[in-house]
């Protein structure tokens, strides 16, 4: 009998994944990861500060215990707090300092769930590991989930082909309503539990208040890029993303204003009242930190520049330095720091991080 260690998070997806594997005849055990110390935050100098947010991590662990007891499987627990800080959260902060828009969930999969977790599972005698991701693996290929609305291959784009060996995604062939239905049929306590949102393992928080524990606020001018007039003050460039329309707090014109770009040296946030296609549409991006899961290297395929975006037709140029030049037809808000994930039909080929964007062959100065 093959042994599977399932990442049990205290949510419905991982619970049903464990159930399905046990039903298939595997020897199943659960492993709960604690990746964030919810009791304290550290300030910008590394000193602990009390965290007044509601802690859900212990609730998740208790739910995981109840699920495993119901399924009749053992639950292990492991702390990756230091590793998460070193490999995921530090990356997140560094990208924000650069004025970019990072995706920590992608790095969490790369460094924690499919690296640290997998090594720990092997210590427990695992032949396979499994998670509650909506994705599929077939013949060594990473495929989109059946539930296109929940597909999570975008977040797996930095996981290597080797890391995905001996990995099972039991719910990849199911749609979310059916996953909840199975949980109800098995009387699992998490059947109606709300899906987790927010930063991976940190959860939902007041983003501005949370970040002030780690990065100092640097208020600066908000400038209309068309008139070069000051419209107000921002609270810190790290809080704004390209294309953002809400939360600018500039009286009168808020509904029409959108973020165009940032000048880190001058600490200026550029906005515009005009047609957003003028500043936000680009036709080319340079992609770095490339990770290919597939052996295929097509010149044409599709891409997603953000999660749940419709597939975009792209052409690819493979550069000598290992980066990619991806060309497309006028797409809005392609943002440095976010992931570009490549697909060929159902197969996720892999992806990289958007380094810079261009229009008509020129890098845009404000991005």
Q: Which residue has the tokens 């802690």?
A: 55
Set 55, 68, 108, 340: catalytic member: 108
Tell me the β-bridge partners of 341. Answer: 304, 351
CB 305 within 8 A of CB 334: yes
Q: Is 55 a catalytic residue?
A: no
Residues 6+ apart with CB under 8 A from 340: 285, 287, 303, 304, 305, 324, 326, 334, 351, 352, 353, 354
Alpha helices, DSSP H, located in 145-249: 176-185, 207-211
DSSP state of 317: E
Residue 335's closest CA among 102, 114, 149, 88?
Answer: 102
Largest CA distance in the chain: 70
What single DSSP character describes residue 224?
A: E
Instruction: State the burial class of residue 300 (Cβ atoms within 10 Å of its Cβ: 0-12, 13-18, 19+).
Output: exposed
Q: What CA–CA distance (Å, rounded) separates 48 from 195?
A: 29
Round to whole Å and give the CA distance between 129 and 4. 5
Question: Considering 55, 68, 200, 340, which one is annotated as catalytic?
Answer: 200
Cα–Cα nearest to 326, from 354, 306, 346, 349 = 354
| Distances in whole angstroms, Cα of residue 68 to Cα of each of 17, 27, 193, 264, 314 | 12, 13, 16, 49, 45
Residue 233 sits at φ, ψ, to 5 deg, of -130, 140
Q: Are 367 and 327 in contact (CB under 8 A)?
A: no
Q: Residue 15 — left, alpha, or beta (φ > 0 → left; ψ -120 to 50 → alpha)?
A: alpha
- Evaluate whether 157 touches 350 at the Cβ level (below 8 Å): yes
Is 200 annotated as catalytic?
Answer: yes
Active-site residues, by number, are 108, 200
């Amino acid at each position: 009998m093959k042994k599977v260690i399932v990442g049990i998070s205290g949510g419905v997806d991982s619970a049903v994944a464990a159930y399905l594997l046990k039903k298939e005849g595997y020897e199943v055990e659960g492993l709960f990861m604690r990746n964030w110390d919810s009791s304290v935050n550290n300030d910008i100098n590394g000193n602990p500060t009390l965290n007044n947010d509601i802690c859900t991590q212990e609730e998740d662990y208790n739910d995981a215990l109840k699920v495993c007891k119901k399924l009749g499987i053992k639950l292990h627990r492991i702390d990756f707090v230091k590793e998460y800080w070193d490999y995921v959260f530090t990356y997140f902060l560094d990208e924000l300092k650069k004025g970019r828009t990072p995706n920590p969930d992608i790095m969490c999969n790369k460094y924690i769930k499919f690296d640290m977790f997998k090594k720990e599972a092997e210590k427990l005698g695992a032949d396979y590991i499994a998670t509650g991701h909506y994705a599929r693996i077939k013949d060594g290929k990473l495929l989109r989930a059946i539930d296109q609305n929940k597909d999570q291959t975008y977040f797996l784009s930095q996981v290597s082909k080797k890391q995905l060996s001996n990995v099972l995604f039991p719910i990849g062939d199911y749609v979310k309503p059916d996953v909840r239905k199975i949980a109800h049929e098995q009387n699992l306590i998490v059947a109606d539990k709300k899906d987790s949102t927010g930063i991976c393992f940190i959860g939902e928080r007041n983003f501005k208040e949370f970040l002030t524990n780690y990065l100092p606020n640097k208020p600066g001018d908000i400038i209309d890029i068309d008139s070069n007039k000051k419209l107000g003050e921002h609270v810190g460039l790290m809080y704004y993303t390209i294309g953002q329309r809400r939360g600018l707090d500039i009286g009168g014109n808020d509904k029409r204003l959108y973020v165009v770009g940032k000048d880190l040296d001058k600490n200026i946030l550029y906005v515009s009242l005009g047609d957003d296609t003028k500043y936000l549409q680009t036709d080319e991006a340079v992609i770095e930190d490339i990770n290919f899961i597939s052996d295929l290297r097509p010149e044409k395929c599709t891409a997603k520049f953000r999660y749940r975006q419709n597939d975009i037709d792209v052409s690819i140029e493979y550069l000598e330095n290992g980066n990619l030049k991806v060309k497309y037809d006028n797409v809005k808000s392609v943002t440095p720091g976010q992931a570009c994930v490549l697909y060929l039909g159902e197969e996720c080929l892999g992806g990289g991080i958007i380094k810079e964007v261009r229009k008509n062959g020129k890098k845009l100065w404000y991005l």
